[in-house]
Amino acid sequence: MLNLRHLCAKNFFMKNTVILFVALLSLIISCNENNKPKPVKQEETISISVPLFNSDSAYFFVKMQTDFGPRVPNTEAHNKCAQFLQTQLEKYCDKVFVQPFVTHTFDGTKINCKNIIGSFALENPKRILLASHWDSRPFADSDPNPANRDKPIDGANDGASGVGVLLEIARQLKEINPEIGVDIIFFDAEDWGTRSGNNESGDWWCLGSQHWAKNPHIANYKADFGILLDMVGAPNAKFYQEEISMHFASQIVAKVWSKAYQLGYKDYFINTGSNAITDDHLYVNRIAKIPMINIIHQDNTTGTGFVSTWHTLQDNISNIDKHTLFVVGTTVLSVVND
């Protein structure tokens, strides 16, 4: 377990018109020397707000989740992690909502689930929705070893990484006390979709976001826009502009990618379109009518369209990269602060 006594806790925002490279270098020295952003030409000067996102803290939150074991609904690990997430959000947020629900999976399994929501500034009608799923895949159906394909996965990247980033953002927002309203939602039952090669029809993925979109935690809930994080912890991750995000919320894609470029993260946030992904943002867009984008790591060289550890037993804490967490967390927190 990492020691949190040395996490940066003061001076949460710097805003100066300076050479971007110098501003970023000063930020990293003050908080985490291992998280070095990509430099830009020294003659380029812009005015940006750079929040102090701590990657050690985000990594700690990822590891805490995986330490429970696979977070598959109806298991003790799932129950323990739900309590951990609720407790952490209660430390940081103004109010926490827990939304229990019961549903059935594609294979007929009855599962007991919880969406967990933490809110800041509930009285403010201007709101941003941040989300990730917190459950993990019940079977490693893409594992190269057939003997592993019925085993549940840790889901360090596929689930826990996004949650870890958002918990650190919540920790920072408590100190920043943002003027805008922010809601952080951890969706359950995202990853019990059909097995690889099974073409059974139906909306079997993203059961938690489907439930929330039809039954929001607050009646008539609205947000200006939303950002979904999924698989944001692999080394050297590439985040392309996903097709569903572009269809429903191209202006939000432009806003987020522009901020990432200002911060020097163009090697992570790629200004190129990519395949449509059935993910939680689809149902938030389609049912709740909230424009939401998906920051998700895609890789067309692996044969699955995703990072090589996707839905395998290798999706564990050893394949989580602190700098990728830093890049995503700093970008999203900067967007919230705009």
Structure tokens at 174: 């408590």
Residue 300 reports pLDDT greater than 70: yes
Residue 37 reports pLDDT greater than 80: no
Residue 41 reports pLDDT greater than 70: no
Q: What are the distances in angstroms from CA 240 to CA 11, 39, 276?
A: 32, 21, 11
Strands 239-242 and 269-274: parallel
On the 0-12 / 13-18 / 19+ scale of CB atoms within 10 A, 21 is: middle
Confidence of residue 50 (pLDDT cuts 50, 70, 90): low
More confident residue, 299 or 200: 299
Residue 7 reports pLDDT greater than 90: no
Residue 232 near residue 158, CB atoms below 8 Å: no
The model carries a pTM of 0.85
| pLDDT tens track for 214-239 | 999 999 999 999 999 999 999 999 99
In a domain, 92, yes or no: yes
Q: Which residues have C-beta within 8 Å of that of residue 276, sequence separation ≥ 6?
A: 242, 243, 244, 247
CATH number for position 327: 3.40.630.10
Looking at residue 15, its pLDDT comes to 35
Structural domain including 299 reads 53-337
Residue 51 reports pLDDT greater than 90: no
In a domain, 61, yes or no: yes
| C-alpha span between 165 and 176 (Å, rounded) | 16
In a domain, 270, yes or no: yes
Residue 35 reports pLDDT greater than 80: no
Residue 4 reports pLDDT greater than 50: no
Report how far Cα 44 is from the mean position of its chain's Cα atoms.
Answer: 30
Residue 12 reports pLDDT greater than 70: no
Looking at the 3D structure of the chain, how many domains does it have? 1
Looking at residue 22, its pLDDT comes to 34
In a domain, 286, yes or no: yes
Confidence of residue 81 (pLDDT cuts 50, 70, 90): very high
Single-letter amino acid code for the residue at 100 = P
In a domain, 36, yes or no: no
Looking at residue 122, its pLDDT comes to 95
HEC sequence for the chain: CCCCCCCCCCCCEEEEEEEHHHHHHHHHHHHCCCCCCCCCCCCCEEEEEEECCCHHHHHHHHHHHHHCCCCCCCCHHHHHHHHHHHHHHHHHCCEEEEEEEEEECCCCCEEEEEEEEEEECCCCCCEEEEEEECCCCCCCCCCCCHHHCCCCCCCHHHHHHHHHHHHHHHHHHHHHCCCCEEEEEEECCCCCCCCCCCCCCCCCCCHHHHHHHHCCCCCCCCCCEEEEEECCCCCCCCEEEEHHHHHHHHHHHHHHHHHHHHCCCCCCEEEEEECCCCCHHHHHHHCCCCCEEEEEECECCCCCECCCCCCCCCCCHHHCCHHHHHHHHHHHHHHHHC
In a domain, 42, yes or no: no
| C-alpha span between 140 and 314 (Å, rounded) | 9
Confidence of residue 61 (pLDDT cuts 50, 70, 90): very high
Q: For 230-245, give one letter per residue: b (16+ CB within 10 A) or e.
A: bbbbbeebbbbbbebb
In a domain, 144, yes or no: yes
In a domain, 62, yes or no: yes
More confident residue, 125 or 1: 125
| pLDDT tens track for 134-193 | 999 999 999 999 999 999 999 999 999 999 999 999 999 999 888 899 999 999 999 999
Average pLDDT, the chain: 88
